[in-house]
Amino acid sequence: MKWRGRRGSTNVRTSSGGGKMIGGGIGGIIIAGILWLVFGVNPMTALQTGQMVTQGSSSNSTEVATSSDRDTQFVQVVLADTEEVWGQIFSEGGETYKEPELILFSGQINSACGSATAASGPFYCPGDQTIYLDTSFFREMRQNLGISGDQQGSGEQENQGKAGDFAQAYVIAHEVGHHVQTLLGISQQVNQARRQVSQAQANQLSVLQELQADCFAGVWANRNQQRVQFLEAGDIDEAINAAGQIGDDRLAQASGRTVTPDSFTHGTSQQRINWFTRGLESGKVQACDTFSGAL
């Protein structure tokens, strides 16, 4: 993915107020934790309660995350790309796009949705219209998603600007997708509807909301490609691979649980791939009506 040389957003802030997190990690838990870290859902909590945003959970991470200049610049450019694209889409519809803020944090952070740690994973908080990304997220993605074996372990330096960029951008675009849902009033409608239905139906609504955010990420990729031709060979596969690795069925398997469709909150891998692709190929918000026919 090409990203250098474009405008960086001024809506990115960094925060390193948190303390050091200490703890040991065990293989399987780490894998589930990484997926959780990357896509903002604690598989355990998600499976049990259908919550979309999790906070304040214990962490198996041992690192004190710091954001490199590269990562900060990357986030600034991707966020600016989303501002350009969504600004354009909203103005085409006669509306004004209100840009979200993005906070890059390490350790712990307080949001309008409660306090969060790196273990909370990337998330969007509607209350303060802010995307929260912990800095260890990039390292985890480089190590675990979209990176072929020969690049693994070859050092941070060699990975920079190569594999994983677009998968990272996709995650940011997904969170921006939740912001768009908030601006459009979709999130509020979903939250209201969730209160009036069974737990299984509430989870299903969450799935549809998540799939729509994936589709919106695809719409963004389409429109940004038209705007700046930023995609490189392999980028789409990278995002598909990322989407494929974080479906709820995979999360459930990674966490050693039986897959139970009613407890899904992000959709299956195949559903996520399908909706991302639909947004990507159409470039149209209207193609992302995941809700029609729901309930």
- Closest by alpha carbon to 48, among 248, 245, 208, 197? 248
Please say whether the beta carbons of 55 and 114 come within 8 A. yes
Min dist CB 174 to Zn ion, Å, is: 6
Pattern of binders to Zn ion over 155-194, x per CB under 5 A? Answer: ----------------------------------------
Min dist CB 276 to Zn ion, Å, is: 12
Min dist CB 89 to Zn ion, Å, is: 19
Q: Considering CB under 5 A, how many residues would be counted as binding Zn ion?
A: 2
What is the Cα 116 distance to its own chain's centre? 15
Residue 207, C-beta contacts closer than 8 angstroms, at least 6 positions apart: 248, 264, 265, 266, 267, 271
Distance CA 285, CA 280 (A): 10
**Residue found by looking up tokens 């939250």 in the block:** 191
Choose the stretch contacting Zn ion; rule: CB under 5 A; options: 94-102, 105-113, 157-165, 206-214. 206-214
Q: Which two tokens stand for residue 285?
A: 């918000």
Residue 288, C-beta contacts closer than 8 angstroms, at least 6 positions apart: 212, 215, 216, 219, 275, 278, 279
Q: Whose Cβ is closer to Zn ion: residue 36's or residue 230's? A: 36
Burial class (CB in 10 A: 0-12, 13-18, 19+), 256: exposed
Choose the stretch contacting Zn ion; rule: CB under 5 A; options: 88-96, 205-213, 224-232, 233-241. 205-213
Q: Whose Cβ is closer to Zn ion: residue 89's or residue 217's? A: 217
Min dist CB 178 to Zn ion, Å, is: 6
- C-alpha triplet 44, 46, 47: angle, nearest 5°: 65
Question: 123 - beta bridge partners?
Answer: 132
Q: Whose Cβ is closer to Zn ion: residue 21's or residue 208's? A: 208
Q: Whose Cβ is closer to Zn ion: residue 147's or residue 213's? A: 213
Min dist CB 247 to Zn ion, Å, is: 12
Q: Whose Cβ is closer to Zn ion: residue 89's or residue 176's? A: 176
Q: Which two tokens stand for residue 168?
A: 């990272």
Q: Whose Cβ is closer to Zn ion: residue 180's or residue 213's? A: 213
Please say whether the beta carbons of 61 and 23 come within 8 A. yes
Choose the stretch contacting Zn ion; rule: CB under 5 A; options: 22-30, 85-93, 203-211, 225-233. 203-211
Choose the stretch contacting Zn ion; rule: CB under 5 A; options: 86-94, 209-217, 230-238, 253-261. 209-217
Identity of residue 225: Q
Min dist CB 266 to Zn ion, Å, is: 7
Pattern of binders to Zn ion over 29-68, x per CB under 5 A? Answer: ----------------------------------------
- Closest by alpha carbon to 171, among 125, 208, 205, 221? 221
Binders of Zn ion among 210-229, rule CB under 5 A? Answer: 210, 213
Binding site for Zn ion (CB under 5 A): 210, 213
